[in-house]
Amino acid sequence: METRITKLLDIAVPIVQAPMAGTSTPALAAAVSNSGGLGSLGLGACSPDEAAKMIAETRQLTNQPFNLNFFVHERPIRDIAKEVAWLDTIRPFFDEYETEQPTALSENLTSFNIDDDMFEVVMELKPAVVSFHFGLPSSSRASALKEYGAFLISTVTNRDEALKAVQSGMDAVVAQGFEAGGHRGTFSTPFEDGYITTMALIPLIVETIDLPVIAAGGIMNGNGIAASLALGASAVQMGTAFVSTHESAANKAYRDFLLSDRAFKTEITNVISGRPARALINRFTDELRIHDRNTPGYPMTYEASKALNTAASAKGSHEFMPMWAGQGAGLSRPMAASDLMKRLLQETNEVIGQLKNIY
Ligand SMILES: Cc1cc2nc3c(=O)[nH]c(=O)nc-3n(C[C@H](O)[C@H](O)[C@H](O)COP(=O)(O)O)c2cc1C
């Protein structure tokens, strides 16, 4: 199955396992790369030491290329009064779980654009592919990475961002549709301007720019892959489908939710991290929905939710856990990642074969 992406990256299968901070693992990335796709490590929430360790571990498991993913968010404008008000809003949940809540929040996730130690790790280890979420790399970072030959990818959610990705020297874009699980990658427009379904977004971006387009959002099986290729994509990036594989870091509660009726309802919410992201609905997203516009922003809100989830989990409740998932979550299949890759390839070939018979 040759496409522009398989040729450029010298891989056999046009499937990228989405980088998923906290959920993707070296074992998962290696299994996907060893199956001919492109595995990814989501390093957006790691320290430089943790990142170096994960990269080394992955390299022990595969000699195929894999992708390192980083967050490149703008630094937030802090509003301490809003942060205090948010802590007040969520205090009843901490009380319910009889836990002291944090007294203040902090900006504890650093953008790759200003994290010099992380940049040093990357420049030393020289990964084949580097991808970005929440924005674009600074021009100095992008040129340094390109100089040693890295293939650069960034998430875009609309036309404006696709044009900016071209200007900043990206080699490909991930076109992230509205259906996608996890954080919206939108960075240059109001979030609502990136609420475009995958089916509409792929041809729109394919028409707008010359770069290869990797389709993301709601793709769970061979039908979705074949449809994305038919719409002009050169590969797909699948996140949710890999959460239920044996190699992901998802805990039992998350896996149970994905394989239950709870998987059929997702929503885009600000209340977990302070940035819009699609997750399975639980008590947290449900009971705080009316406060969705009042969060103190990313990443401070995330710090509060992580503390709340720790408190609730300690008492056996998973109703406050961020369970990122796309709208196709109900089609999750628990199996080894290599088996999922085989199934996806077989299904895609079957669909393409059937289409040939129809036309
Ligand atoms: C659990 C989870 C974590 C994610 N974390 C990241 C991340 O760290 N970096 C990133 O670029 N995208 C992340 N995403 C978004 C994916 O790259 C991709 O856009 C999305 O998974 C596609 O939609 P799907 O989940 O319906 O396949 C995450 C998605 C999920 C489900």
Q: Is 263 in the pocket of ligand 1 (CB under 6 A)?
A: no
Q: What is the pLDDT of residues 262-314, one digit of tens each?
A: 999 999 999 999 999 999 999 999 999 999 999 999 999 999 999 999 999 99
Q: What is the pLDDT of residues 222-275, one digit of tens each?
A: 999 999 999 999 999 999 999 999 999 999 999 999 999 999 999 999 999 999
Q: Which of 15, 17, 20 most suits a substitution to test ligand 1, by most atoms within 8 Å of the C-beta?
A: 20
Average pLDDT over every residue of 44-56: 97
Q: Is it the case that residue 359 has pLDDT exceeding 90?
A: no
Helix (H, G, I), strand (E, B) or coil at 331: helix
User: What is the Å distance from ligand 1's center to 95 Cα?
Assistant: 32
Q: Is it the case that residue 358 has pLDDT exceeding 90?
A: no
User: What is the Å distance from ligand 1's center to 3 Cα?
Assistant: 22
User: What is the Å distance from ligand 1's center to 259 Cα?
Assistant: 18
Residues paired with 158 in a beta bridge:
none
Number of C-alpha atoms within 13 angstroms, CB side, residue 76? 22
* pLDDT for the residue numbered 355: 87
* pLDDT for the residue numbered 1: 85
Q: Is 276 in the pocket of ligand 1 (CB under 6 A)?
A: no
pTM, two decimals, is: 0.98
Average pLDDT over every residue of 21-41: 98
Q: Is 181 in the pocket of ligand 1 (CB under 6 A)?
A: yes
Say what percent of the chain tops pLDDT 90. 98
Q: Is it the case that residue 210 has pLDDT exceeding 90?
A: yes
18 backbone φψ class: left, alpha, beta (φ>0; ψ -120 to 50):
beta
Mean per-residue pLDDT of the chain: 97
**221, 185 Cβ separation under 8 angstroms:** no
Domain spans, the chain? 1-73+109-250+332-359, 77-108+260-328
Nearest to 156 by CA among 42, 237, 52: 237
Structure tokens at 84: 């205090």
Superfamily of domain 1-73+109-250+332-359 in CATH is: Aldolase class I (3.20.20.70)
Sheet with 151-156, edge to edge strand ranges: 15-17, 235-238, 213-216, 172-176, 151-156, 129-133, 66-71, 39-42
Nearest CA to ligand 1 atom 15: 182
Nearest to 240 by CA among 132, 330, 346: 330
Q: What is the pLDDT of residues 194-204, one digit of tens each?
A: 999 999 999 99
